[in-house]
């Protein structure tokens, strides 16, 4: 019997890995891509998310080819936070995080995640998911406290909704897991559509429980 194709997650994000694990899926390998994520001139945030997710998948495929590991499912994603057409940068410096929070304060913003899956036969499929999020008006104490927490580091838009910033959310329309970094419904639909057994570990857990 031929070996099962590997599942490769083209991301180093612990949040995306945790979300897949939550859905009962464990990637065989992690192959994060080191890309320039600067938006192109006049590029819409949704186009940026789709372009970068595809580029990450293509980078992982090139690496897999060099490693000669055989056919694989390659899954990638990119999340972009925007106010209008303005892309909120990933915050690496406290000044960036402060500027992001001040911009998001009391406003509705959009979170786009482009998800890309390349199947073992090379078929490429993409989905774009949009969630609208409204923050309360942030006080100076809110901003200073959040900056002190450090949760903003490396996060799209300068915040992590699954952490302290969840208390800033007044309203959300759309997928919560999309805002965390990987929309599970759409991701699992892509995997199932390409023939990946998304329930494999679920069944294995049931068998182990019956044998215990």
pLDDT digits (tens, 9 = 90+) for 118-144: 999 999 999 999 999 999 999 999 999
Q: What is the per-residue pLDDT across 23-82, written as a single tens digit (0 to 9) for each?
A: 999 999 999 988 888 899 999 999 999 999 999 999 999 998 888 777 899 999 999 999
Please give the Cα distance from 110 to 135 (Å, whole number). Answer: 11
Residue 200 confidence (pLDDT): 84
Task: Decide if 1 is inside a domain.
Answer: no
Residue 1 confidence (pLDDT): 36
Does residue 6 contact residue 120 with C-beta atoms inside 8 Å? no
Q: Choosing from 28, 34, 68, 78, which is the catalytic residue?
A: 78
What percentage of the chain exceeds 90 in pLDDT? 80
Across all residues in the chain, what is the average pLDDT? 92
DSSP 3-state of 121: coil
Please give the Cα distance from 144 to 78 (Å, whole number). Answer: 28
Q: What is the CATH number of the domain that holds 79?
A: 3.90.950.10
Helices 184-193 and 14-22: angle between axes, nearest 10 degrees: 70
CA distances from 153 to 46, 89, 171 (A): 22, 11, 24
Say if strands 72-83 and 6-9 run parallel, antiparallel, or are unpaired.
Answer: parallel
Domain total in the chain? 1
Task: Decide if 72 is inside a domain.
Answer: yes
CA-only gyration radius of the chain, Å? 18
Domain around 135: 6-211
Residue 3 confidence (pLDDT): 66
**Residue 206 banded pLDDT, cuts 50, 70, 90:** low
Does residue 112 contact residue 80 with C-beta atoms inside 8 Å? yes
pLDDT at 4 over 90: no
CA distances from 157 to 5, 79, 96, 103, 201 (A): 35, 9, 9, 10, 34
Q: Is 142 a catalytic residue?
A: no
Task: Decide if 186 is inside a domain.
Answer: yes
């Amino acid at each position: 019997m031929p070996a099962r194709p590997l599942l490769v997650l083209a991301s180093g994000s612990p949040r995306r890995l945790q979300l897949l694990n939550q859905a009962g899926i464990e990637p065989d390998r992690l192959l994060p891509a080191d890309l320039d994520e600067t938006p192109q001139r006049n590029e819409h945030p949704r186009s940026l998310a789709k372009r970068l997710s595809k580029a990450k998948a293509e980078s992982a495929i090139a690496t897999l080819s060099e490693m000669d590991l055989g056919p694989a499912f390659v899954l990638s994603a990119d999340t972009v936070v925007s106010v209008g057409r303005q892309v909120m940068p990933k915050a690496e410096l406290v000044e960036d995080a402060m500027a992001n929070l001040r911009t998001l304060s009391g406003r509705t913003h959009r979170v786009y995640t482009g998800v890309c899956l390349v199947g073992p036969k090379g078929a490429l499929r993409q989905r774009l998911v949009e969630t609208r999020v409204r923050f309360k008006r942030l006080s100076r104490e809110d901003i200073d406290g959040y900056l002190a927490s450090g949760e903003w580091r490396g996060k799209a838009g300068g915040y992590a909704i699954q952490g302290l910033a969840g208390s800033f959310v007044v309203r959300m329309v759309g997928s919560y897991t999309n805002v965390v970094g990987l929309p599970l419904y759409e991701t699992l639909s892509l995997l199932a559509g390409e023939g990946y057994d998304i329930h494999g570990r679920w069944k294995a857990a049931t068998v182990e429980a019956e044998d215990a």
